[in-house]
Chain A
């Protein structure tokens, strides 16, 4: 049986990152929901689509079909297009709780996207050390999706 090298004392961590995205708020919001849902990928680029029920208390989970899957959290706050918060175990199969939020703010002609992830529990050292990698990739993905959406919208608008 595989065992994890769990801590025997309660640990915590916080990750705080932000990026500017050259797109309006509504496009970035759409991109955040896409990246949390069908467009989600692992940091190596492997698709890992999720389902996000975009309402208060909605589930955020990996649907493996026939009622199988992994629940990562519930929507705690949703205020389009400015804020989404999720609370839950995420990928942690041990006593732990996570809270993260994406906050979107208009800035001049772009949108600043901030992510704040805080966790506590019997969190192993490698998880604490690597937690930032996934968020960096996630932010990059959201920017890519937003750029694609923006290009598509422009193309649709320019159609004769």
Chain B
């Protein structure tokens, strides 16, 4: 059966956040991969461990056991310790395009980490409203992980 319907107008999403982290970029990059992997969470009490394959085209996915899971994206660019880009559906179970970038720059003896998430699609209000808080939590996790390694 084919159902034709008018789709919701396509929308765009642009979230930009940054964090100054008291750690060198190499440590920050390790923390990014850890946060995107086993330390992933959507909030303080909401762990959501993921797997990331750290190479060009590597998968970022929720592994629920043999043959089960959720695919969130592929690595588009990986240049440790300065840049990581991911593209894919992320959590959106509807037609959308997402691009996520983490860019690290040295600032004195610290690292400034800039996260940018841009998307187009029929983006649900709960995603539009909830994602800024989710990314803020993720950046604070990266800072905690990185700074704990230099203490």
Contact = CB atoms under 8 A, between A and B. Distances in A.
Interface of A: 1, 6, 8-10, 59, 61-64, 67-71, 74, 89, 93-97, 121-122
Given A68-B80, A95-B97, A63 B87 contact: no
Contacts of A62: 56
Interface of A is mostly: strand
Contacts of A97: 97
Interface of B is mostly: strand
Contact of B75 (A71, A96, A122): A71
Q: Which 3 A-B pairs have the closest CB atoms?
A: A69-B56, A67-B55, A59-B57
A64 B77 CA distance: 10
Contact of A64 (B12, B79, B87): B79
Contacts of B98: 95
B54 interface: yes
B76 A93 contact: yes
Contacts of A122: 12, 118, 120
Contacts of B56: 59, 61-63, 67-71
A123 to B, nearest CB: 11
B74 A71 contact: yes
A97 B119 CA distance: 11
Nearest to B13: A95
Nearest to A53: B57
B138 interface: no
Interface residues of B, number: 25
Contact of B105 (A1, A61, A64, A74): A1
Interface string B57-81: 1000000000000000011111110
Given A10-B10, A62-B56, A93-B85, A68 B79 contact: yes
Given A59-B57, A67-B54, A93 B78 contact: no
A94 B76 contact: no
20 contacts: A9-B12, A59-B56, A59-B57, A61-B56, A64-B79, A67-B56, A68-B56, A68-B78, A68-B80, A69-B55, A69-B56, A69-B78, A70-B76, A89-B87, A89-B99, A93-B101, A94-B99, A94-B118, A95-B120, A122-B12
A4 to B, nearest CB: 10
Interface in B93-132: 97-99, 101, 103, 105, 114, 118-120
Contacts of A74: 57
A70 B74 CA distance: 11
Nearest to A58: B57
Interface in B1-30: 10, 12
Contacts of B54: 67
A64 B118 CA distance: 26
Given A1-B105, A93-B101, A95-B99, A61 B57 contact: yes
Contacts of A69: 55-56, 77-78
